Amino acid sequence: MPERTRKPTNLQELRESGWISKTVKQEIRDNFLRSLAADEELFPGIVGYENTVIPEINIALIAGHDMLFLGEKGQGKSRLMRTLARFLDDEIPYIKHPDAPLHDDPYHPITRVCREFVASVPPSEVPIGWWPRSERYVERLAPGTKFADIIGEIDPSKLVAGVSMSAEEALHFGLIPRMHRGIFAMNELPELDELVQVGLFNILEERDVQIRGYPVKFDIDVLILFSANPATYNRSGKVIPQLKDRIGSVIHTHYPKDRDQGIDILEQEAGIDLGEPFPVVVPRFMKEIIEELSIAARQSKYIDQTSGVSARFSIANYRTMVASTRQRGARLRETPAVPRISDLGHLYSSSLGKLELDLMGSHQMSERQILDALLAEAIRTVFMEYVDEHGLEEISQIFSQGVKIEVGDMLPSTNYSDRLKRVPPAWDKAFEVNASSDPAVRASCVEFVLAGLYATDQVSRSQTNGQIRYEF
């Protein structure tokens, strides 16, 4: 096995190694272009942005721009910002000095302590440390952030120790200076105090800082990223115009363009193991209803659309549905357990609080009433798609014989099989699941058809003690 190359430990060895100094934006651009040319996956785990958002990010990276990710909540803005750190080098060298406040470039130190140190000793005596990629990205939430947090402040303890207030050594640097040669991300930019925005403006413009009137005249090398909601970012006075003007690229994010994309996202992000010890099989139509519920909420006049409906709404609801199903599987020993419409009765716990009501449009409807209406709309939409493709008569014919069926999330699947001896052949085709031979699948299909027929005003429904009865 070949011996691993030893990393340089001092400035002389670093120079002899051929290492080249780059700005952080040059470093990211070079690594990005290398990945692009090699046809590598650029943004792992990002779904639905291939032809919209990602091309704009690509251009911004090549252009060396600071970026603002503009979109409603739950559109992956923070995730996109964090993903950009993958284009940093695995690690970079810095001057390893005990009094150095930053990770100075060995070839271009910007702090006085490192400049004087390099000038006073031979290169072989300047120790070199290595800063890993994982430590070169930092993120901050704007609400509550103070000037000292991200820019800096005079350090009283150093003044007490005798350091002059006019000296660089008297300063305690905030997150942005300390991320010199890294990436700094600020979430919810419009919520940032105006004084801090002014400090950011100075950094974006001149790449230097002023702390309590003391100008720190050095070139801070940092990629700055922001996120914001359009409703607040575009509101007059929330972000100072000078700061807006100096953000290189605005990247507009969006919700999934279609239901299939949304389902791909919720399956990926939910991260649920559907296998043993209590396996769950989720029919496609149940996933479609979960995602259609989010789509309906994003179009509802009862929901405040300036806030948006996060992708986390679908993800949380999907997890709740699977959890209810798994509970039934464990208690009734149904293997595998299959989600039903009655499992959606538990979505209040994962939905309430994630929807912000439009006070003008809701007409005093409660959050529960609005969720019920949205769920009924989602069921109707998905059901009518199945009806259009496979025909209402074949889907619903079994109930035209006057069958009365009681449903509930904790009823055994055999209850449904006893009531429904024969399954129309169209059901197996329509639902892409084995409704004929598997009682749990059959129960799920029965509830879907019944809920769909009720949503289209073709059957009546009564509810008692948490159980629902459908009849013609």
Query: What is d(CA 144, CA 189) in angstroms, rounded to the nearest whole number?
Result: 12
pLDDT tens, residue by residue, 337-352: 999 998 998 998 888 8
Q: Which two tokens stand for residue 188?
A: 């919810």
pLDDT tens, residue by residue, 420-429: 666 666 666 6
Vertex 355 angle, CA 269 and 291, to 5°: 40
CB 153 within 8 A of CB 172: yes
For residue 159, pLDDT beyond 60: no
Mean pLDDT confidence for 288-299? 94
381: how many CB neighbours lie within 10 A of its CB?
A: 18
* pLDDT-above-90 percentage for the chain: 47
For residue 166, pLDDT beyond 60: no
Mean pLDDT confidence for 271-294? 92
Q: For residue 340, what are the CA distances in angstroms to 206, 225, 280, 408?
A: 60, 43, 11, 9
CB 181 within 8 A of CB 105: yes
pLDDT of residue 426: 67
Mean pLDDT confidence for 299-322? 89
Confidence of residue 96 (pLDDT cuts 50, 70, 90): very high
Confidence of residue 119 (pLDDT cuts 50, 70, 90): very high
At 250, is the secondary structure helix, strand, or coil?
strand
User: CB-based contacts of 210: which residues, under 8 Å, 6+ apart?
Assistant: 199, 202, 216
Burial class (CB in 10 A: 0-12, 13-18, 19+), 45: exposed
Strand partners, 93: 130
User: CB-based contacts of 187: which residues, under 8 Å, 6+ apart?
Assistant: 77, 78, 139, 140, 141, 142, 226, 227
Query: What is d(CA 240, CA 90) in angstroms, rounded to the nearest whole number?
Result: 36
Mean pLDDT confidence for 13-21? 94
Confidence of residue 3 (pLDDT cuts 50, 70, 90): very low
Confidence of residue 21 (pLDDT cuts 50, 70, 90): very high
pLDDT of residue 434: 66
Mean pLDDT confidence for 355-375? 78
Superfamily of domain 11-252: P-loop containing nucleotide triphosphate hydrolases (3.40.50.300)
* pLDDT-above-70 percentage for the chain: 84
- Report CA 140 to chain centroid distance, whole Å: 15
Mean pLDDT confidence for 39-61? 94
The residue ranking higher by pLDDT, 165 or 23, is 23
DSSP 8-state assignment for residue 467 = E
For residue 461, pLDDT beyond 70: yes
pLDDT of residue 318: 95
- Using omega within 30 degrees of 0 as the cis cutoff, is the peptide bond preceding 336 cis? yes
pLDDT of residue 327: 93
**Average pLDDT value over all residues in the chain:** 85
Most confident of 41-45, 299-303, 429-433: 41-45
Q: Which two tokens stand for residue 298?
A: 């994003």
Mean pLDDT confidence for 104-109? 95
- Which amino acid type is present at position 107? Y
User: CB-based contacts of 124: which residues, under 8 Å, 6+ apart?
Assistant: 10, 11, 12, 13
Domain boundaries defined on the chain: 11-252, 259-471
Q: Which of 103, 236, 251, 102 is nearest to 185 (CA)?
A: 251
For residue 45, pLDDT beyond 50: yes
pLDDT of residue 123: 94
Confidence of residue 2 (pLDDT cuts 50, 70, 90): very low
CA atoms within 13 A on the CB side of 405: 32
Mean pLDDT confidence for 210-238? 81
Mean pLDDT confidence for 225-231? 93
For residue 333, pLDDT beyond 50: yes
pTM of this structure: 0.85
pLDDT of residue 168: 62
Confidence of residue 251 (pLDDT cuts 50, 70, 90): very high
Strand partners, 140: 186
Query: What is d(CA 207, CA 162) in angstroms, rounded to the nearest whole number?
Result: 29
Mean pLDDT confidence for 423-437? 67
Confidence of residue 236 (pLDDT cuts 50, 70, 90): confident
- Which amino acid type is present at position 427? W
